[in-house]
Amino acid sequence: MEEQPTYGDLQKRVKELEQQLEEKKEEYQQLKRIFLSHVNHEIRTPMNSIIGFSSLLADNDITREQKQLYLSYINNSSESLLGIIENMIDMAMLEAGQVELQESSFSVGGMLEELYARLSVMKQKRNKDLVALLLSRPQEPAELNIVADRYRLEQIMMNLAENAMKFTDRGVIEIGFRLKNENILQLFVKDTGRGIDAGHHQMIFESFRISRKENDPHIAGSGLGLSIVKSLVELMKGEVWMEPNGEQGSIFKINLPLKQDSLAAARSEKKGARRSFLDDLRLGSRHLAI
């Protein structure tokens, strides 16, 4: 018979758990202080840029070229500031359980094509001339439609792609999707950037975590992007993880559960009906719901 723990054993275990809880609280508070200090810097930087270049625009002696340059700096800083504020609001809403999915039907390939176009503009703005962008999509099915929250799925992929862009100075960034099986849609973002230490693969998805050193000159943003990704994927009943991309870089993968949509069922019921030329073109299409 298994020996039952004594009262002394239980007391000792309770003290150990209390000590672990206290250490976690201290760690959380320390991470929170680092996060607030970092966000304070990230907010002040674009704000100072906006104020400074706005003041320069008031100078009547500046040239047309200088004016356009200052306006581009103000626009970039405004976008950066907006991104930080949106991340903070999203994280607060996710932690409070206030985010509700708004589902609609859309093409996964079409969504990624739009994302690719946005990334191409971002690449140009950030002078990433040595980075190549790739869009990968399977040959079968030729088109894949799903029912999901398109805005949130775009947000997930954009956060991952922006993260890849931030830490890839040369090489390749690839976005894409595939059907892992009839029940699972897998999306991914690959890069050949700096990569992430093996010990940080899970840590990077935690709130207030910044995986790079504080003195890293490439660090930017609020540090909430990957935490938001994880929370949104879990809200969609999926999973997200990170793997090394060979000897250099990272691969972020997302698995989302799929179920047969009523529109797909309706198509299957019409198998015996006469098909038009357009129907033949749609034979590769599958309509699935998350």
User: What are the pLDDT digits (tens) for 161-215?
Assistant: 998 998 899 999 999 999 888 889 999 999 998 877 666 656 677 655 554 444 4
Per-residue confidence at 113, pLDDT binned at 50, 70, 90? Answer: very high
- If one compares 86 and 260, the residue with the highest pLDDT of the two is 86
What angle (nearest 5°) sits at the alpha carbon of residue 187, between those of residues 182 and 192?
140
Would you say residue 7 has pLDDT above 80? no
Highest mean pLDDT among 12-26, 86-100, 228-242, 257-271: 228-242
- Taking a C-beta distance cutoff of 8 angstroms, is the pair 191, 172 a contact? yes
- If one compares 87 and 109, the residue with the highest pLDDT of the two is 109
Would you say residue 279 has pLDDT above 50? no
**What is residue 68's predicted lDDT score, i.e. its pLDDT?**
93
**What is residue 267's predicted lDDT score, i.e. its pLDDT?**
43
**What is residue 223's predicted lDDT score, i.e. its pLDDT?**
64
Which token pair is 208? 């207030």
**What is residue 246's predicted lDDT score, i.e. its pLDDT?**
73
One-letter amino acid identity for 105?
S
**Pairing outcome for strands 184-191 and 250-257:** antiparallel
Per-residue confidence at 96, pLDDT binned at 50, 70, 90? Answer: confident
Would you say residue 114 has pLDDT above 50? yes
Q: How many helices (H) and strands (E) does the chain have?
A: 7, 9
Would you say residue 269 has pLDDT above 60? no
Radius of gyration of the chain (CA): 24
Range with the poorest average pLDDT among 11-25, 111-125, 276-290? 276-290
Cα–Cα nearest to 183, from 261, 236, 258: 258
Chain segment 132-172, per-residue pLDDT in tens: 999 998 877 767 899 999 999 999 999 999 989 988 999 99
- If one compares 61 and 215, the residue with the highest pLDDT of the two is 61
Which token pair is 249? 């870089």
